[in-house]
Amino acid sequence: MIDDVIRNAADFDLISREERDILVGKKDDDGDGSEENNGVVHKVSHVVERSDIARLLLMYTEGGFYLDADRLVSKSMKDVIPRPSTTRMCLPTFNDVNFCQDLICSSRGNDLFLDMIKEASKIRVAAKRRNGWIKGGGLFDLGPVLYNQQILMRVFGGDEETHDKCRDDFLLAREMIVADSDEIIITTKESSCNDGLLMDEASLPECYGREDLFDAYGMTPWAVEVDALWDNA
């Protein structure tokens, strides 16, 4: 599904054909893209890079809620968004350190996400790669760093002094959103898995960690495998 989202985005000129090929590989002229006839050059980007851009593309073209797979929901949507006719976006923070990227909601056609897609394209096309993968730091720049930079620029305007204050003090950023957005944007501080926009502590008294999930499915944190490829090549 992720690769289909990326290919469709190139068909509708949201990303370039060059970027599509960087992300999902390039079909040979005599192939149909299947592994059986070697129709794809298998030097595709890391799945984290593909999922990050697919998430932005879907938020822009479809809108709605995006949640990471380890996210839980216990609250009713009417409690999460009490004024659905007014609210157009949610921007919770993670411990007031940055804006959450594992929980996103927005109306369709939000230009904030189009800006993110365009900025990501500039970084992606110019990035150095090894077997199709960007180094770990570059992947991080395309994810949380880009996401937070674009929010600060779009939501808080072109004032660099305000950007600096909000980047250093996300409590202040949330207070400004509450004071100035009239619930067009909703925000809250997410302090743990059972205390945030979609969950409350009463429904999940004890929190959980990702380690058990990784062990159950034989998963490795993405930074480990990316760094290993670059270190060992």
- Taking CA atoms, 148 is separated from 105, 119, 167, 210, in Å, by 15, 12, 9, 23
Instruction: Report the predicted TM-score, pTM, of the whole model to 2 decimal places.
Output: 0.86
Per the document, the length of the chain is 233
Per residue in 94-127, pLDDT (tens digit) is 999 999 999 999 999 999 999 999 999 999 999 9
Query: Do 50 and 142 touch, CB atoms closer than 8 A?
Result: no
Q: What share of the chain is helix, strand, coil (3-state, %, to 5)?
A: 50, 10, 40
| pLDDT tens figures, 42-84 | 578 999 999 999 999 999 999 999 998 888 888 999 999 999 9
Which of 44, 41, 79, 55 is CA-nearest to residue 2? 55
What is the enclosing helix (H) or strand (E) of 189? strand 189-190
